[in-house]
């Protein structure tokens, strides 16, 4: 078990996100169903398809190096939506994914054969309250690589049927955050040398909208034995702790944090911040992770296990690091000061 746990920290990953916001930002029922160049959504927002997800771009140099990958659902985020779902059973969901080349991950016992979809996640969506749900290592499936795919997520309720919702109502806008890790046919011989943590990086998000840490010496951070320009590392969120925030509003419970660095090239594919519905996903210079924001009366803290791991390639010894917060309602940078936040990262060097 310890070896499996360590492997998550030292294997390179490619991250991507599928957001309903990619296709549409509208919360008006009459605007659905909708289809555009990015994807399609049904009238109740319970069947969503994203077109032409480019796995060759997502995987980068790993695309030609490996044949199979483990696809892991890390985080589910959803916005506030009043009055959806007919009963609690209809808010208790699992998510069926289709469109990928599944490997030993899609056997249906009722049909007695492999089918074209598999369960990739499960959740209970709260009424009216936005939230972020951490999955860690609960949902992992194996896929064979393909250049591109149209990916469909279909919601099924606890009674194993499509969820019902009241007339003129629909489910909230949801975002799914994934990573891909190569499947090794032979355990790399370098694993013993790489199984120790490189370092910890303590950051402090001051009561503002964006914080930039200037001139971080990555040689000093990583140490002589681990510093290597061009090598891949995993930036792991250890914990996030937030002070009381006088500017808190309910939608902040579903905001995501973004990290960007002049010396770290992240492997992340999603709709870029500032883009509105109908814009295709792209490789971004930042990575997304789950943090917390304090309320007007309470502090907040979250301890991560393996849900917040972001792979980067080290490109410079001296690096700036910028941390932002993403307003998930309209896919823009948050413009409201959010209190003081402590973020502590671990950095692990990836195996080859």
**pLDDT, the chain, mean:** 88
The dihedral of CA 336, 337, 342, 343: what is its sign? Answer: positive
Is residue 128 a part of any domain in this protein? yes
Sign of the dihedral defined by the CA atoms of residues 133, 16, 236, 325, in that order:
negative
Same domain? 175 vs 316 = no
Number of H helices, E strands in the chain: 5, 27
**333: Cβ contacts below 8 Å, ≥ 6 apart:** 209, 210, 273, 274, 324, 325, 326, 327
| Average of per-residue pLDDT across 276-285 | 86
Cα–Cα distance between 13 and 241 in angstroms, integer?
A: 25
Residue 190 in domain: no
Q: Look up the pTM and report it.
A: 0.88
Q: 309 and 248 in contact (C-beta within 8 Å)?
A: no
Q: For 244, what's the count of Cα atoms within 13 Å in the CB-facing half-sphere? A: 4
**Beta 47-54 vs 39-41: how paired, if at all?**
antiparallel
CA pair distance 100, 261, nearest whole angstrom: 32
Say how far apart CA 155 and CA 47 lie, in whole Å.
Answer: 6
Contact 91, 171 (CB under 8 A): no
The pLDDT tens digits for 160-175 are 899 999 888 899 999 9
SS3 19: strand
Confidence (pLDDT) at 249: 92
Residue 62 neighbours by CB distance under 10 Å: 20
Position 46 scores a pLDDT of: 96
Confidence (pLDDT) at 188: 56
Percent share of the chain, pLDDT over 70: 95
DSSP state of 5: H
User: In terms of Cα–Cα distance, which of 276, 266, 274 is closest to 319?
Assistant: 266
- Tens-digit pLDDT profile for residues 311-348: 999 999 999 999 999 998 888 999 999 999 999 899 99
Q: Does residue 93 sit in the same domain as residue 58?
A: yes
Residues 153 and 225 in one domain: no
CA 110 to CA 209: how far, in whole Å?
51
Residue 155 domain flag: yes
Residue 299 lies inside a defined structural domain of this protein: yes
Q: Which residue range(s) make up the domain with 115?
A: 2-182
Average pLDDT over residues 262-284: 89
User: What are the b/e assignments for 99-118, b being 16+ CB within 10 Å?
Assistant: bbebbebbeeeeeeeeeebb
pLDDT at 193: 46
- Given this model, what pLDDT does residue 9 score? 86
Q: Is residue 189 part of a domain?
A: no
Q: What is the residue-wise DSSP string for 150-189?
A: EEEEEEEETTSSPPP--TT--PPPEEEEEEEEEPPSS--T
pLDDT for position 79: 87
List the CATH number of the domain containing 280: 2.60.120
Percent of the chain with pLDDT over 90: 56
pLDDT of 2 > 50? The answer is no
**171 and 133 together in one domain:** yes
Condensed to tens digits (0 to 9), the pLDDT of residues 124-147 reads: 888 777 888 888 787 899 999 999
In a domain, 188, yes or no: no
Q: With a cut of 70, say whether residue 55 has pLDDT above it.
A: yes
pLDDT score recorded for residue 194? 46
Helix boundaries (H) for the chain:
2-10, 55-59, 88-91, 191-194, 218-222
Question: At which of 115, 148, 182 does a domain end?
Answer: 182
Indicate whether 98 belongs to any domain. Answer: yes
Strands 309-314, 264-266: pairing kind:
antiparallel
Same domain, 262 and 337: yes
d(CA 268, CA 348): 18
Look at residue 61 and tell me if it is in a domain: yes
State whether 201 and 131 are in the same domain: no
Domain count along the chain = 2
Residues 85 and 168 occupy one common structural domain: yes
| Other beta carbons within 10 Å of 200 | 12
pLDDT value of position 319: 94
Cα R_g (the chain), whole angstroms = 20
Using the 3D structure, point to which of 128, 158, 182 is the last residue of a domain: 182
Bridge partners (DSSP) of residue 232 are 313
Confidence at residue 1, expressed as pLDDT on a 0 to 100 scale: 42
Dihedral angle at the C-alpha atoms of 84, 270, 55, 109, nearest 10 degrees?
Answer: -20
Q: Does 61 share its domain with 126?
A: yes
Q: 3-class SS at 31?
A: helix
| pLDDT per position as a tens digit, 180-231 | 999 987 665 555 444 456 777 878 777 788 889 899 999 988 888 889 999 9
Q: Give SS3 for 91.
A: helix
Give the pLDDT confidence score for residue 197 in this predicted structure: 61
- Last residue of one domain, picked from the residues 129, 158, 182: 182
Q: Looking at the structure, do residues 147 and 205 belong to the same domain, yes or no?
A: no
Residue 244: per-residue pLDDT: 93
pLDDT tens sequence across 18-54: 999 999 999 999 999 999 999 999 999 999 999 999 9
**Same structural domain for residues 250 and 307?**
yes
Claim to verify: residue 109 and residue 143 sit in the same structural domain: yes
Q: 239 near 304, Cβ under 8 Å?
A: yes
Tell me, yes or no, whether 13 and 114 share the same domain.
Answer: yes
């Amino acid at each position: 078990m310890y070896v499996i746990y360590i492997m998550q920290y030292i294997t390179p990953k490619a991250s991507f996100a599928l957001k309903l916001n990619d296709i549409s930002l509208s919360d008006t029922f009459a605007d659905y169903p909708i289809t555009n160049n990015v994807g399609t959504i049904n009238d109740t927002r319970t069947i969503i398809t994203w077109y032409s997800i480019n796995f060759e771009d997502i995987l980068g140099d790993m695309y030609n190096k490996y044949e199979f990958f483990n696809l892991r659902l890390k985080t589910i985020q959803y916005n506030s939506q009043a009055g959806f779902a007919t009963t609690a059973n209809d808010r208790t969901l699992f998510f069926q994914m289709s469109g990928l080349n599944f490997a030993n991950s899609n056997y249906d016992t009722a049909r007695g054969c492999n089918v074209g979809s598999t369960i990739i996640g499960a959740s209970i969506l709260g009424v009216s309250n936005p939230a972020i749900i951490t999955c860690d290592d609960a949902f992992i499936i194996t896929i064979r690589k393909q250049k591109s795919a149209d990916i469909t997520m279909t919601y099924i309720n606890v009674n194993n049927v499509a969820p019902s919702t009241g007339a003129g109502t629909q489910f909230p806008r949801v975002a799914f955050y994934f990573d891909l890790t190569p499947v090794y046919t032979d355990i790399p011989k370098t694993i013993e040398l790489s199984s120790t943590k490189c370092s910890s990086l303590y950051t402090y998000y001051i009561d503002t909208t964006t914080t930039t840490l200037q001139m971080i010496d990555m040689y000093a951070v990583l140490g002589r034995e681990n510093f290597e320009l061009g090598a891949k590392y995993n930036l792991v969120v250890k914990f996030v702790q937030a002070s009381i925030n006088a500017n808190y509003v309910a939608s902040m419970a579903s905001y995501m944090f973004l990290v960007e660095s002049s010396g770290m090239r992240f492997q992340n594919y999603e709709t870029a911040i500032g883009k509105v519905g109908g814009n295709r996903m792209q490789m971004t210079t930042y990575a997304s992770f789950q943090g917390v924001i304090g309320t007007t009366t309470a502090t907040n803290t979250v301890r991560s296990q393996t849900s917040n791991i972001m792979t980067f390639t080290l490109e410079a010894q001296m690096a700036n690091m910028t941390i932002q917060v993403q307003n998930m309602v309209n896919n823009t940078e948050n413009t409201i000061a959010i209190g003081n936040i402590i973020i502590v990262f671990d950095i692990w060097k990836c195996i080859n």
